[in-house]
Amino acid sequence: MRIDVMKTYKLFINGQFPRSESGRVYEITDSKGKFLANPAHGSRKDLRDSVVAARAAQPAWSKATAYNRGQILYRVAEIMEGRSEQFIAELIAQEGLNPSAAKKQVEQAIDTWVWYAGWTDKISAISGSTNPVAGPYYNFTIPEALGVVAIFADGKPSLLNLVNGLAPVIASGNSAILLAHEKYPLSAITLSEVLATSDLPAGVINIITGKTAELVSWTGSHMDIDGIDASGLSSKQLREVKELGSENLKRIHSFDSKRSPLRITSFMESKTVWHPVGI
């Protein structure tokens, strides 16, 4: 009889897979209470490290052509398709889904990457404009990535919600710190293994597992985070993160709709350029 090799679930920071610097882990169980894994219990230092990585990676990522970013998002879908079985198994364990529901969720998650891959080179044509100002000026508005965005992953459907949060944020050229859902961290870590082999530059996506209550206050008060997708937070946690985030006027949004170009533009700035017209 062969004994399974069990996976150690670690963090994903700057393209690497460290354990929490704190040495802490927490236990998660499957839907029947059976032991599943000891994912890292991320610390404030881990969060800070990922913000540093995200900040460093962001300029080059947003300067990459939209076509290039689109191909990388599509590459994520390609690699994820090949790992479907692992995601399905984890969803069955984490969420207690039957195999066909788990398979469907994985397919939806992959298709969501593809959907946002198609947006990278179209969002500015949809949300940008040329403005007919009353004067001899050429005037146009272009959307630009915000910077570093933290994402509190929403719960069930846990894998799909990871992609719903991540894909629109990075499509436009932001870098991201994904704060995995406390109960469903396995899909997030397995996703990081896909991201690490998808031509995505190190630091563009960083993933922290841990206790949401702690992460809310550390993330909300971190002065080098520009925006937060708070879709995974309770109303009490949302209020806390908004109060803390007011210190540097973080852009904080929660989303009901799963897929929308608004999820992209919510974490973009608009820049208007004036230029005179004349000989």
Contact 220, 241 (CB under 8 A): yes
Residues near another protein (CB under 8 A) are 66-67, 70-71, 74, 111, 114-115, 117-122, 125-126, 138, 261, 275-279
Q: Supply the minimum distance, in Å, between the C-beta of residue 194 and another protein.
A: 17
Token pair recorded at residue 229: 């997708």
Instruction: Using the minimum distance from each CB to another protein, give the nearer residue, 213 or 273.
Output: 273
CA atoms within 13 A on the CB side of 55: 11
Question: In the complex with another protein, which residue's Cβ is closer, 31 or 138?
Answer: 138
In the complex, least distance from residue 72 CB atom to another protein, rounded to whole angstroms: 12
Q: Tell me how far apart the alpha carbons of residues 129 and 161 are, in angstroms, rounded to a whole number.
A: 31
Please identify, using beta-carbon distances, which residue of 81 and 193 lies nearer to another protein: 81
Q: How far is the CB of 127 from another protein (least distance, A)?
A: 10
- Please say which residue, 33 or 135, places its beta carbon nearer to another protein: 135
In the complex with another protein, the residue whose CB is nearer, 30 or 81, is: 81
Residue 175 near residue 203, CB atoms below 8 Å: yes
Burial of 247 (0-12, 13-18, 19+ CB in 10 A): exposed
Min CB(102)–another protein separation in Å? 20
Q: How far apart are CA 167 and CA 159, in angstroms?
A: 12
What minimum distance in Å lies between the beta carbon of 278 and another protein? 5
Rg of the chain taking only CA atoms, in angstroms: 19
CA nearest to 152, candidates 248, 244, 74, 255? 255
